[in-house]
């Protein structure tokens, strides 16, 4: 696979870097998130209302330091991770996240003096973490970055992604400039400055394309086509350069701030993207699992970053291979049974929704169980999840996970309900559920055997 990475680690100064549409596809309209339409609801006295933002007031902004360098849908808010780390681990402990996504657990673990092992099917993790957990002692210099950006502007060596229909996504003149910029990156020495500019090109590459950059999934919209046509009538090259330079300088400052804050830390963050967490072979035990599995309606993370992966050097077949492993696009290899899940399965009237449900819980639990099997005795699993609706029926994911794991060697510790304060809902496409999901839940389980 192009640019495939082995497992990597970013450690403290004392621990240097160790390694260098198908028939089964369902759309968001199939899976309803509207809480008001609930047909099945069970109250539970174990649920404790909580506000993680109030409980962790030292975090003023969910995108602080390096959290916001890369766009990623449905990010794990750092307040929840910080709370779990402080409540259930101590300095020097190891935590695992089998659904690492944008790497929030890794960033927070490093800040809090914990070690973390991150896994995700999405290989973008391998490109995000070297910037999000920046451990070099030498302060990055704006003058050096500016020199590299000047070299970028003068680049004449093009790189064209191995994307069969790339012309569908770009006007020729924008594709030509972006290809030259990427050619500069591909021919440059691998260092933090190159990585910073690369992150900026990933952002600019979608903005200066026919792809709608205001929504997560990759698609062309009439409004974006009009936007690009109007942009072409302006000094778009200057605007492109300005976006790349501005994002690069902001990223450099964030990396320096991160390194300053963590200069005395002794932590190690290991990560491996592009792998199946369900069957990964771990080489160590962990004190805690902290994760946020994908929701039933959040099915297409690979599609979300498809354009970025092509620019990074992946090809059609490599991306298709990973996409086929996404939950819930893969067939269930076992049927999960719990009282709540069984009731929902019987209530569903459509076979495709039953298959969706079975696939989701099979592969979500496979990955969780694989990670939780490495917990030390009395280790803690902290699982953050919401309750979507499927065919109008509420799916209490936390309850199903609780029932399953309490039958398999884990004890109930706590269950917190956090009311969602901010939810990004996209108005460029018809949204059946303008209010979105109202709450998310942190389920805490303790390993007993």
Which tens digit of pLDDT belongs to each residue from 46-89? Answer: 999 999 999 999 999 999 999 999 988 888 999 999 999 999 99
Nearest-5° angle of CA 193, CA 199, CA 205? 130
Q: What pLDDT score does 217 carry?
A: 82
Q: Does residue 386 have a pLDDT over 90?
A: yes
Sign of the Cα pseudo-torsion (135, 138, 141, 147, in order): negative
Q: How far, in Å, are 110, 260, 353 from residue 65 at the CA level?
A: 12, 11, 41
| Chain segment 216-225, per-residue pLDDT in tens | 788 999 999 9
Structural domains in the chain, sorted by start: 8-135+264-447 (3.40.50.150), 142-256 (no CATH)
| Chain segment 276-297, per-residue pLDDT in tens | 999 999 999 999 999 999 988 6
Residue 49 forms beta bridges with which residues? 417
Q: What mean pLDDT value characterizes the chain?
A: 88
Assign 370 to helix, strand or coil.
helix
Q: What pLDDT score does 170 carry?
A: 97
Q: What pLDDT score does 425 carry?
A: 39
For the chain, helix (H) and strand (E) counts, in that order, are 15, 11
By CB atoms closer than 10 A (0-12, 13-18, 19+), residue 336 is buried
How much is the average pLDDT of 348-356? 94
Q: Does residue 5 have a pLDDT over 70?
A: no
| CA 143 – CA 155 distance, rounded (Å) | 19
By CB atoms closer than 10 A (0-12, 13-18, 19+), residue 194 is middle
**What tokens appear for 29 in the block?**
């309209």
Q: Does residue 30 have a pLDDT over 50?
A: no
Long-range contacts of 233-236 (CB under 8 A, 24+ apart): 236/174, 236/208
The pTM of the full predicted model, rounded to 2 decimals, is: 0.89
- More reliable by pLDDT, 329 or 269: 269
Q: Phi and psi dihedrals of 322, rounded to 5?
A: -70, -40
Q: Does residue 203 have a pLDDT over 70?
A: yes
pLDDT interval class at 39 (50, 70, 90): very low
The H or E element that residue 357 is part of is helix 351-372
* Of 171-175, 271-275, 423-427, 437-441, minimum mean pLDDT range: 423-427
| CA 269 – CA 118 distance, rounded (Å) | 8
Q: Does residue 33 have a pLDDT over 50?
A: no
Q: What pLDDT score does 7 carry?
A: 60
Q: Beta strands of 63-114 (E only): which ranges?
A: 94-97
Q: What pLDDT score does 426 carry?
A: 40
| Chain segment 110-159, per-residue pLDDT in tens | 999 999 999 999 999 999 999 999 999 889 999 999 999 999 999 999 99
Q: How far, in Å, are 96, 132, 289, 374 from residue 383 at the CA level?
A: 11, 22, 8, 15
By CB atoms closer than 10 A (0-12, 13-18, 19+), residue 54 is exposed
């Amino acid at each position: 696979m192009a640019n495939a990475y082995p497992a990597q680690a970013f450690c403290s100064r004392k621990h240097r870097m160790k390694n260098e549409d198908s028939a089964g596809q369902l759309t968001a309209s199939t899976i309803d998130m509207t809480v008001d339409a609930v047909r099945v609801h069970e109250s539970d006295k174990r649920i404790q209302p909580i506000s993680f933002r109030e409980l962790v007031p030292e975090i003023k902004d969910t995108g602080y330091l390096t959290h916001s360098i890369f766009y990623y849908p449905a990010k794990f808010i750092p307040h929840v991770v910080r709370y779990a780390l402080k409540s259930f681990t101590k300095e020097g402990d190891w935590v695992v996240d089998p659904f690492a996504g944008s790497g929030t657990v890794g960033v927070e673990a490093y800040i809090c003096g914990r070690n973390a092992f991150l896994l995700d099917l999405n290989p973008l993790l391998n490109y995000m973490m070297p910037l999000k957990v920046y451990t070099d002692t030498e302060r990055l210099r704006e003058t050096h970055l500016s020199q590299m950006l000047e070299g970028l502007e003068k680049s004449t060596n093009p790189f064209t992604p191995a994307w069969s229909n790339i012309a569908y996504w770009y006007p020729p003149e924008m594709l030509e400039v972006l290809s030259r910029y990427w050619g500069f990156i591909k021919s440059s020495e691998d260092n933090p400055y190159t990585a910073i500019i690369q992150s900026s090109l990933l952002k600019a590459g979608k903005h200066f394309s026919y792809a709608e950059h205001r929504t997560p999934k990759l698609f062309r919209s009439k409004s974006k086509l009009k936007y690009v046509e109007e942009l072409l009538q302006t000094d778009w090259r200057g605007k492109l350069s300005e976006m790349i330079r501005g994002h690069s300088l902001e990223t450099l400052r964030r990396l320096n701030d991160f390194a300053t804050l963590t200069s005395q830390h002794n932590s190690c963050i290991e990560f491996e993207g592009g792998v199946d967490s369900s069957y990964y072979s771990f080489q160590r035990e962990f004190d805690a699992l902290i994760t946020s599995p994908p929701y039933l309606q959040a099915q297409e993370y690979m599609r979300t970053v498809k354009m970025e992966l092509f620019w990074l050097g992946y090809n059609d077949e490599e991306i298709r291979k990973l996409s086929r492993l996404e939950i819930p696009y893969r067939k269930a290899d076992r049927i999960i049974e719990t009282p709540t899940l069984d009731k929902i399965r019987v209530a569903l009237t459509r076979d495709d929704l039953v298959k969706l449900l079975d696939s989701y819980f099979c592969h979500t639990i496979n990955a969780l169980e694989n990670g939780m099997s490495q917990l030390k005795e009395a280790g803690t699993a902290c699982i953050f999840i919401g309750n979507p609706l499927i065919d109008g029926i509420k799916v209490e994911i936390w309850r199903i996970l609780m029932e399953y794991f309490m039958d398999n060697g884990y004890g109930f510790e706590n269950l917190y309900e956090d009311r969602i304060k901010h939810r990004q809902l996209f108005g460029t496409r018809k949204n059946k559920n303008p209010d979105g999901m109202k709450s998310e839940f942190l389920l805490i389980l303790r390993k007993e055997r």
